[in-house]
Amino acid sequence: MDAVFKALADPSRRQLLDRLNARNGQTLRELSEGLTMSRQAVSKHLAVLESALLVAVVRQGREKLHYLNPVPIHEIADRWIGRYERGRLTALSHLKQTLEGPPMSKPEFVYVTYIQTTAEKLYQALTDPQFIKIYMGGTGPESTWEVGAPVRWKMDPSGEFEELGQRVLEAEPGKRLSYSWHTLQPMHRALFDSDEEFAKACEERSRVTFDIEPAEVPMLGIKLTITHDEFDAPDSKMMEGTSGGWIMILSALKTVLEGGKFVSEQ
């Protein structure tokens, strides 16, 4: 946590995090606009935030997009804020967001983790049904993982795989895997005030993408970036529900891969 506290201690770095909180996925040029510091200074501050895992960087063509990674801050909150206080702070945060209105841009969830493994084994972990069963607790997807192939999903460990309209969008072994996401299911009805509101939300589709690449620092292993995007609504219930789930899933995946609990048959 020392690196996180050090990164947050500087007001300029907190200002950059505020900018990403207002609009995620900005370039260095966009983040530098309107600031009194130089672009070089912004770049140095972003490097500190990235090393503390408070900012994740995703390349899109020639551009580097910066995303706020709230996980380290959440970990600090879990460590230093009691259960009852957290509940009140969450309520106040939701009230603040409601009064200020939703953000203008479409939401997206981006999370970066580093795993001591190989790119091939990591891709296998994302596609092998026996491996998925271990770190997803008996739930999760199955597919032939060819572009255009259906992705069936098991919601309950004791249930069956279901066809929910998901399809493989990209499949590049050892590098990239992307598939369309399922809509809200009947179990999510309790999150809405009316059947009409629920029915409208069920029309929303989204996409999840896993990018695999060597870490910038070799000793960190392999860099895995998950991007869940193309949500229609700024206040998407699907995004609200999946973001926390992805963090737990990837944490379990990292533990299994680094702990050697799965032995590849290849």
Task: Give the pLDDT of residue 264.
Answer: 45
For the sheet with 162-172, list strands across it: 109-115, 222-229, 207-214, 176-180, 162-172, 150-154, 140-142
- φ/ψ of 31, rounded to 5, equals -70, -25
pLDDT per residue over 57-102, tens digit each? 887 788 888 988 776 776 666 565 554 454 555 555 555 454 555 4
Instruction: Please say whether the beta carbons of 213 and 123 come within 8 A.
Output: no
Confidence grade of residue 260 (pLDDT, cut at 50, 70, 90): low
Higher-confidence position of 114 and 175: 175
Residue 132 has pLDDT above 90, yes or no: yes
What would the mean pLDDT of 155-178 be, rounded to a whole number?
A: 94
Q: 0.85 cut: is pTM over it?
A: no
Per-residue pLDDT band for 266 (boundaries 50, 70, 90) equals very low
Of 4-8, 121-125, 195-199, which gets the smallest average pLDDT? Answer: 195-199
pLDDT at 140: 93
Average confidence (pLDDT) over 52-56: 86
Domains of the chain: 2-100 (1.10.10.10), 109-259 (3.30.530.20)
* The predicted structure's pLDDT at residue 115: 92
